[in-house]
Structure 1
């Protein structure tokens, strides 16, 4: 199974980039991970929030294949412990999901068209984090999940 993290905008802060790089390198031992950063919209001051979400949705939907299993990182999504997230990923792999695509939206969230395309929603926390930080938190949780599945000593309960 391949996993793709699709994000709106680039990670700008060096400390976040370093953390993402650290866990991305570690994940190479377990899975094929692609990170796709879509360009942030330009000249958004003249656009309403809904117009921005619609334009971001167009960019997101263009990157998805019909066979992709799409999971939005969204505050209204499923909440898991790290162990349950690992089990969720394992079930997707066993269930013959070929490409699991996790999406981090822009600062205003997702347009309804992206919600309509999604197969699932995942909530990392009930707290709100910047969409920059969510990337690092997600990649670390992905790494943690695979160490759990392999019985390696990274995760402690």
Structure 2
């Protein structure tokens, strides 16, 4: 399996970078995982929120491989337990989808074109969380899903 996380914005603080690096290291033994950062666009410089979302969206769309199954992280998306998420990833793999892309949009969301490209949406609940934290939670949940799928213990 190959997992790609496309995230708007760069991790600036060391603690976010360290947390992501830890899960990327753990995932390395199980799957190919790549994080692609696309530039966040300041709405004031882009001509408004819609313009910045569209420019970010164009960068996101150009980073998605053609045959990838795309899962957009969105507050209104489908909530899944860790076990359900693990089964979802297993079903995608069994169905021949070996290239999974997760999208974490910018602070103003994503463009309509990105929403249209997504095969499904996933929510970590109705809470609002910083995009940096969403990236860490996503990587942790992918790692947890793989461990569940393999029947391996997960260090708590």
**SS of 1:36's equivalent?**
strand
CA RMSD after TM alignment: 1.4
Gaps of 5+ in 2: none
Partner of 1:65 in structure 2? 65
- How far off its partner does 1:98 sit? 2.5
CA distance in 1 between partners of 2:116 and 2:22 (Å): 33
Partner of 1:115 in structure 2? 115
1:31 paired with 2:23, answer no
Task: Report if aligned partners of 1:20, 1:136 keep a CA contact under 8 Å in 2.
Answer: yes
**Count of residue pairs brought into register by the alignment:** 155
Partner of 1:95 in structure 2? 95
**SS of 1:60's equivalent?**
helix
- How far off its partner does 1:136 sit? 0.4
**SS of 2:44's equivalent?**
coil
With normalisation by structure 2, the TM-score equals 0.94
CA distance in 1 between partners of 2:8 and 2:63 (Å): 12
Gaps of 5+ in 1: none
* 1:16-42 Cα distance to aligned partner (Å, 9 max, x none): 11111111100011111011111222x
State which drifts further: 52-61 or 147-156.
147-156
1:2 paired with 2:12, answer no
Partner of 2:144 in structure 1? 144
